[in-house]
Amino acid sequence: MQDSPLRYLTLIIVAFVFVLSLTIALLTHGGWWLVLLSGALTGVGIADYLQPKRAILRNYPILAHFRFFFEMIRPEIRQYLLEEDTEQNPFSRNQRSIVYQRAKQVLDKRPFGTQLDVYQAGYEWVNHSIAPAKVQHHDFRIVIGAGRAQPYSASVFNISAMSFGALSANAIRALNQGAKKGKFMHDTGEGSISRYHRPEQPDDSGGDLVWEIASGYFGCRNPDGSFCEEKFVENATGAQVKLIEVKLSQGAKPGHGGVLPGAKVSAEIAAARGVPPGVDCVSPAAHSAFDSPVGLLQFVDRLRNLSGGKPTGFKLAIGHPWEFFGIVKAMLQTGILPDFIVVDGGEGGTGAAPVEFTDHVGMPLQEALLLVHNALVGANLRSKIKIGASGKIVTAFDIVRTLAFGADWCNSARGFMFALGCIQSQSCHTGKCPTGVATQDKLRQRALVVPDKAERVAHFHENTLKALAELIAAVGLQHPSELRPHHVVRRLSPNRVALASALLEYIDAGALLANAVPVHLPEVFKKYWPLARAESFHLIQ
């Protein structure tokens, strides 16, 4: 097929205008602005035609730039002009607005009734009591690691794992200072403890930290990437570190690992992680310190002892159910128990990931939480191990539902990003975050003023817990720990509803033990519990 000159119509027109305007300018001694404009556009068009990298620019000089411009601003157009208030992609305008309002201490009430379709399948609510309770305070807490040398009294709502490197220095500072003001905990993410997690003044104290230890052992690694005991002790025994968390996987990209390109490994990131600056920083898909359920628990116990008895546990997104069953069997076999388990939902998180992993890898939070809770109940271990949960939790109702389904506390990452000013531009992985939250660009992150944002983080936490207290009181309870599945109702169809306790299969205490009386078990337990083993993450063949 012969090339059509119509493809270059824009360039031809601009070139014609340039020649025409130049002629007119020379004859009339005016109109030079048109000459400059058309000349510039002609230059752009010729450059587009000659460049070898973008076919669309070669085929449609000048005009293709409009396509790129509208593609670039499409998220903003959709978000601000086209998006419905209740459209959750991934968070609705209503969800973001409630965070902004609570963070800024402005009115968070809404008139004229709900915008949700209460007769649509999937709609959920909590039943209230005719005799509501009188809740005396909103600072709801649980004890993690009771009986250990250094137990920790934790808020039921905390900051989930986000690393320095993924977030800017100012974002980390604001989160940690906000956590200190609100007396709740701040998970470091796998990027370890940076100087921005520490107090700016030596005589000050920082916010409580959960130190996350991932497969790269950042902050406690040898030059070859293996675990370093001495470096671990140096960080773990600091007063600011309250919990130690071994990360097995995360909801954004479970089973994937990752690489931070050397160009992004600045001197500050390298210092926090204990890696050389300017060199690719690798997070392996699996740990090198253990390779079995028994090995995992032995590693957890080792870290607990090295830290001086601080509560120690692990975090994971649930994949193959028999792998977690193997961990539970290892608990029964060795007697070694984690103090807590954090269940990360497969809904994804702040970490950028291949779209296949974001959309189709990892068990969603509700099913994952149910499996972990049931396995511990069935092994008579639930009362000895606390469960945290994370996955699209931003409102008090999110917390109510998650605690009712089996968690002891909730973590939120994106909710606290909104409190920092995130506008969900979804440019976290590009380094061009417009609000300075998820970028290492010094100029961009100057927009994030730490003292102001720290106040907003603390306010979001406090006002969310106040809303939680009101919900708990309306249900007729005194503490969120009293929530159970029967408090939550879910619509199945326009004319059918059910209590969550009827929809979710909960098993009896001790039902998985060897001497248990045979009872009904969910299919996943009947099939995979007998095949799971403490000595390996693989099934018995």
Alpha-helical regions (H) of 130-236: 169-182, 229-236
For 105, residues 6+ apart whose C-beta sits below 8 A from its C-beta are 459, 463
3 state SS of 28 = helix
Tokens (6 digits) for 489: 């109702």
> 80-89, 449-458, 466-475 — which is least confidently predicted?
80-89
Q: Quote helix, strand, coil % in the chain, to nearest 5.
A: 40, 15, 45
**pLDDT score recorded for residue 26:** 64
Summarised one tens digit per residue, pLDDT across range 370-382 is 999 999 999 999 9
Per-residue burial over 235-251, b if 16 or more Cβ lie within 10 Å, else e, is bbeeebbbbbbbbbbbb
Residue 21's nearest CA partner among 11, 31, 8 is 31
Residue type, 402: T
Mean pLDDT for the chain overall? 87
Summarised one tens digit per residue, pLDDT across range 259-276 is 777 877 889 999 999 999
β partners of residue 143:
153
- Average pLDDT, stretch 446-475? 95
- Asked whether 537 and 293 are in contact (CB, 8 A), the reply is yes
β partners of residue 258:
283
Q: How many CB atoms lie within 10 A of CB 524?
A: 17
Sign for the CA dihedral angle at 164, 168, 172, 175 comes to negative
Sign for the CA dihedral angle at 399, 102, 348, 157 comes to negative
- Asked whether 126 and 400 are in contact (CB, 8 A), the reply is yes
- Average pLDDT, stretch 380-408? 96
Sign for the CA dihedral angle at 61, 67, 69, 72 comes to negative
pLDDT band at 1 (very low <50, low <70, confident <90, very high): very low
Q: Is a pLDDT exceeding 80 seen at residue 529? A: yes
Rounded (10°) angle between helices 32-50 and 9-28 = 150
- Asked whether 164 and 196 are in contact (CB, 8 A), the reply is yes
**pLDDT score recorded for residue 53:** 58
Alpha-helical regions (H) of 115-261: 169-182, 229-236
3 state SS of 240 = coil
Q: Is a pLDDT exceeding 70 seen at residue 11? A: no
Give residue for tokens 């007063």. 239
Percent of the chain whose predicted confidence (pLDDT) is above 90: 60
DSSP label at residue 479: S
Residue 191's nearest CA partner among 205, 209, 174 is 209
Rounded to an integer, what distance in angstroms lies between the CA atom of residue 326 and that of residue 248? Answer: 14
Query: What's the per-residue H, E or C state across 349-410?
Result: CCCCCCHHHHHHCCCCHHHHHHHHHHHHHHCCCHHHCEEEEECCCCCHHHHHHHHHCCCCEE
Give residue for tokens 């009827």. 502
> 62-71, 387-396, 403-412 — which is least confidently predicted?
62-71
3 state SS of 167 = strand
* More reliable by pLDDT, 55 or 141: 141
**pLDDT score recorded for residue 483:** 96
| DSSP element (H, E) containing 301 | helix 293-306
